[in-house]
Amino acid sequence: MIYITSIEIKNFQSHENTKLDLHRGLNVIVGRSDSGKTAILRAIKWVFYNDPPPGNLIRNGAKEMSVRIEFNTGAIVTRLWNSKENKYILVKSNGEKIVLEKFNRAVPFEIIQEINIQKVELGSTVKNGINIAEQLDGPFLLTESSSTRASAIGRLIGVNFIDDALRDVIKDNKNNSKKIKEAELEKEILEKDLESFDYLKDEEKKLNFIKKCRDAILNYTVQLDKLKQLSSSKLNIKEEIIYLEKNLKEYENISELEQKFERLSRNIEMLKYYSKLSNNLKSNRNDILTTEEQVLKLKHIDGIYDKLLNLTN
């Protein structure tokens, strides 16, 4: 069993520097009133439970306070506080040293694990320190209700999970009942709110009718555009017909023109023939003139020939 072997208190309330060596079993601290006996108990609770807050515990005029508790296992727990520091210093039974900070109002897990001292729930959600009894407290659990005693004993021997489970079930049942009532109330409110929207059925019919009218208008608009296009095409066709009719009137005597064209074609062919004859005549005439010139030249040949004959004879 673990127990305290020494307590050292510095600048904690009325204790400037106090050290107590304790022994296993009963230890008695005596003294006159207001001599600091309760402050020793309060210092132990400050280490074990981190309660009360340290701001009102420091000795007047001091800047730092600390409480050091040593156990028979060799473990040492030191609680230190000043304006800049708020920490636990733990020396485990195996000699390992740990500095613990930023734990707010809770006791660090490492401290609880080493000394196995912490506040526990005794049948309620309020945690109690059962390792220390105050001066005016009654016998342990005897002043509590039977349900609290049963729950506390169950927790002390480790069978409290049944009570915890039952309490959780009851709590959940209450919460569910509350949620059901709230849901039913909300349902009634929503149903009343829905009644104010009954007119929406008629509005839906109107909306559907408007949609149908809109679709019909769109359809008629498309058809109207097509009719406009057809009307424009018809007008263009009419204008084209009128234009063609005018051109056809100009070509009503086309058969006569064809006859004239045929005569003209024959005349052109005859013209080509006569033109060719004319060219041939001109060519022949030129040949005749050339031949006549040559004949005239040949008339002198007879006289020359006679002279040559006379010369040879």
d(CA 155, CA 244): 116
Residues of the chain with pLDDT under 50: none
Percent of the chain with pLDDT over 70: 84
Q: Which of 65, 62, 87 is nearest to 77 (CA)?
A: 87
2, two tokens: 């673990």
Q: Which amino acid is at 110?
A: E
pLDDT tens, residue by residue, 47-104 = 999 888 777 889 998 999 999 999 999 999 999 999 899 999 999 999 999 999 988 8
Give the 3-state secondary structure of residue 45.
helix
Angle at Cα 104 formed by Cα 103 and Cα 106, nearest 5°?
Answer: 70
9, two tokens: 């208190």
117, two tokens: 């001292």
| Sequence-ordered alpha helix ranges (H) in 5-36 | none
Question: What pTM value is reported for the model?
Answer: 0.50
Instruction: Return the pLDDT at 115.
Output: 93
Q: Which amino acid is at 42?
A: R
Taking the CA of residue 279 as centre, how many other CA atoms within 13 Å lie in the half-sphere pointing to its CB?
Answer: 6
**Distances from the Cα of 204 to the Cαs of 132, 139, 209, in angstroms?**
75, 77, 9
The neighbour count for residue 149, using CB atoms within 10 Å, is: 16
Instruction: Return the pLDDT at 267.
Output: 79
Strands (E), the chain: 4-12, 15-21, 64-71, 76-82, 86-91, 97-101, 120-121, 127-128
Instruction: Return the pLDDT at 301.
Output: 64
Instruction: Return the pLDDT at 155.
Output: 67
d(CA 89, CA 77): 6
d(CA 42, CA 52): 8
Give the 3-state secondary structure of residue 198.
coil
Instruction: Return the pLDDT at 33.
Output: 85
Task: Count how many residues are written for the chain.
Answer: 313
